[in-house]
Amino acid sequence: MEIKILKGTHQIGGCITVIQTRTTKIIVDFGEDLTQEGKNTFEKKELLKEVSDADAVFITHSHLDHAGLVNIIPKNIPIYMEKNTKTILDIGSDFRINKPLSREVDTFELSKKTNPIFVGDLKITPHIVDHSSYNSCMFVIEGEGKKVLHTGDYRNHGRKGKLFSSTLDAIGKVDCLITEGTALSRHNNAHYKSEVEIEKEAKEIMSRYDQVFVLSSSTNLDRLVTFYKAKRNKKFVIDTFTAAITKAIDFPVSPKNEDIYQWTPSIYFKIKTEKFKKKYMNSEGNYDFLPNYVMLIKQSMLIDLKKLKKAGLVQNACLIYSMWSGYIEKEKGLSSMLDEIEKMGIKIYELHTSGHADLDAMKLMNSKLTPQKTVIIHTENSENCQKIFDNVINIDDGENILL
Ligand SMILES: [Zn+2]
Ligand SMILES: [Zn+2]
């Protein structure tokens, strides 16, 4: 069996991994780069050449650094992804967050009983894993007597974290581990805060304000639960996009709940296609949630906040910024939005925990799987891995590893 990381050995995001036997070739993830800073050894033309003779492509989760380039994959090559991952990408394209899938994909469901998918002489088994994208999975890939785990993005401090240890036990020993190593470059912390700890802190902050705005990702459904649980007796208000996702995947926190209100930010009135209007703009929601509420907002919704402020409906308010702090430095629009919010007299708090594995989770992974070889991807600093993983193979994008 052979492994080749096309992209990801020296950058966070833009992950693409080739795993092949003598007769079968699959690719795990087909993501776009998060930044222009990564060392892009492989350009689109070369990626297309690599994928052209693949037997299938498997996607770990809906984040675009793992799924963002699927449209360049030729239509005759099957793409497999989890059912809700596809739903999230489809809704994201309706809301113009990502490009629409230009082709059919094969979907699978994650259940307690793991169901393998067979491609040529490879057996691929998806396992649900805790991450900041709903129903993310890891893949166990077996062939030619070897067993590989590709982790995708993972953690064990979120709401599905309890599954982590037993999933690793079920997987057992592997010949090769391909693991994300985001935390190796971003933080030196051994331990990240759990969603439950975030919930406690949110509860305390929210208790001091009448209106609480929350800036977080609509696809980070763990965080949605965190703030829903922390709101106490306030009304909970979600925007059209978040409502569409939670309804489509039948998530327990959705506008079906009596204390959850849906509202339509002005940005969505700009999408004028009949399909969009019919599907998502059939309910404008209402303002029955006033005056004490927790409202999920996006960067594009500053104008709506200003309207609420003008109408005297923002009196004793705060905003909880609940995403990676690096976005504030990287995205000028976001930092100027936060400046404007502050000028409106709204106090800003940062409250977040990573969607990625902390060092404790990585150590647990290493001790349970005892891999013969470990390859670190999704990192800018794989050199820091020596204290955590045994048998690390240091490679660059495009190099082959023979198992
Ligand atoms: Zn990622
Ligand atoms: Zn991710």
Of the pLDDT bands very low, low, confident and very high (cuts 50, 70, 90), residue 381 is confident
**Which ligand has the minimum distance to the alpha carbon of residue 63?**
2
Q: Which ligand is nearest to the CA of 15?
A: 1
Phi-psi region of 398 (alpha: psi -120 to 50; beta: other; left: phi over 0): left
Q: pTM for the whole thing?
A: 0.94
**Cα–ligand 1 centroid distance for 64 (angstroms):** 8
Ligand 1 midpoint to CA 347 (Å): 31
How far, in Å, is the centroid of ligand 1 from the Cα of 63? 6
pLDDT score for 41: 55
pLDDT band of 13, cuts 50, 70, 90: confident
- What's the CATH code of the domain at 363? 3.60.15.10
Does 38 score more than 60 pLDDT? Answer: no
Question: Do 329 and 211 share a structural domain?
Answer: yes
Question: What's the CA-to-centroid distance between 277 and ligand 1, angstroms?
Answer: 32
Are both 234 and 96 inside the same structural domain? no
> Same domain for 49 and 181?
yes
CA of 354 to the centre of ligand 2 (A): 10
Looking up residue 260, the CATH number of its domain turns out to be 3.40.50.10710
Rounded to whole angstroms, how far apart are CA atoms 1 and 402?
6
Distance 131 CA to ligand 2 centre (A): 7
User: Which of 13 and 352 is assigned the larger pLDDT?
Assistant: 352
Both 93 and 174 in one domain: the answer is: yes
* Residues near ion ligand 1 (Cβ under 5 Å): 65, 153
**Residues 387 and 273 occupy one common structural domain:** no
Half-sphere CA count of 127, side-chain side, radius 13 A? 25
Q: Are residues 341 and 359 in the same domain?
A: no
| Residue-number span of the structural domain to which 100 is assigned | 2-188+355-402
Residues 174 and 79 reside in one and the same domain: yes
Centroid of ligand 2 to alpha carbon of 180 (angstroms): 10
CA dihedral in degrees (22, 28, 33, 38; nearest 10)? Answer: -50
Summarised one tens digit per residue, pLDDT across range 73-123 is: 999 999 999 999 999 999 999 999 999 999 999 999 997 777 899 999 999
pLDDT at position 111 is: 79
Ligand 2 midpoint to CA 133 (Å): 6
Question: pLDDT tens-digit profile of 39-50?
Answer: 455 678 889 999
Report percent pLDDT > 90 for the chain: 81
- Looking at all shown ligands, the one closest to residue 132's CA atom is 2
What's residue 285's pLDDT? 62
Taking the centre of ligand 1 as the mean of its atom positions, its distance from the CA of residue 153, in whole angstroms, is 6
pLDDT single digits (tens) 143-196: 999 999 999 999 999 999 999 999 999 999 999 999 999 988 765 667 899 999
Q: How far is the CA of 67 from the centre of ligand 1 (A)?
A: 9
CA distance 209 to 213: 10
Q: How remote is the CA of residue 379 from the centroid of ligand 1, in Å? A: 10
Residue 364: pLDDT band (50, 70, 90) is very high
**Does residue 104 sit in the same domain as residue 234?**
no
* For the CA of 129, the nearest ligand: 2
| Ligand that comes closest to the CA of residue 66 | 1
| Residue 385: pLDDT band with limits 50, 70, 90 | confident
The mean-pLDDT minimum among 37-46, 188-197, 358-367, 368-377 falls in 37-46
Residue with tokens 């304000």: 209
Distance, CA 61 to ligand 2 centroid (Å)?
A: 7
Is the predicted pLDDT of residue 208 greater than 90, yes or no? yes
Q: Quick one: pLDDT band at residue 131, thresholds 50, 70, 90?
A: very high
pLDDT at 224: 97
The answer on 228 and 107 residing in a single domain is no
Measured in Å, residue 398 CA sits from the centre of ligand 1 at: 19
Q: What's the Cα-to-Cα distance from 199 to each of 52, 261, 322, 353, rounded to whole Å?
A: 46, 20, 11, 11
Cα 305 to ligand 1 centroid, rounded to whole Å: 31
pLDDT of res. 168: 97
CA 302 and chain centroid, separation: 24
pLDDT at 284: 59
Residue with tokens 């204390």: 259
Average pLDDT, the chain: 92
Report the pLDDT value the prediction gives residue 286, as an integer from 0 to 100.
Answer: 67
Same domain, 38 and 183: yes
Distance from residue 22's CA to the centre of ligand 2 (Å): 31
Please tell me whether residues 104 and 180 are part of one structural domain.
yes
Phi-psi region of 310 (alpha: psi -120 to 50; beta: other; left: phi over 0): alpha
Q: Domain count of the chain?
A: 2
Least Cα distance to 19 among 58, 52, 48 occurs for 58
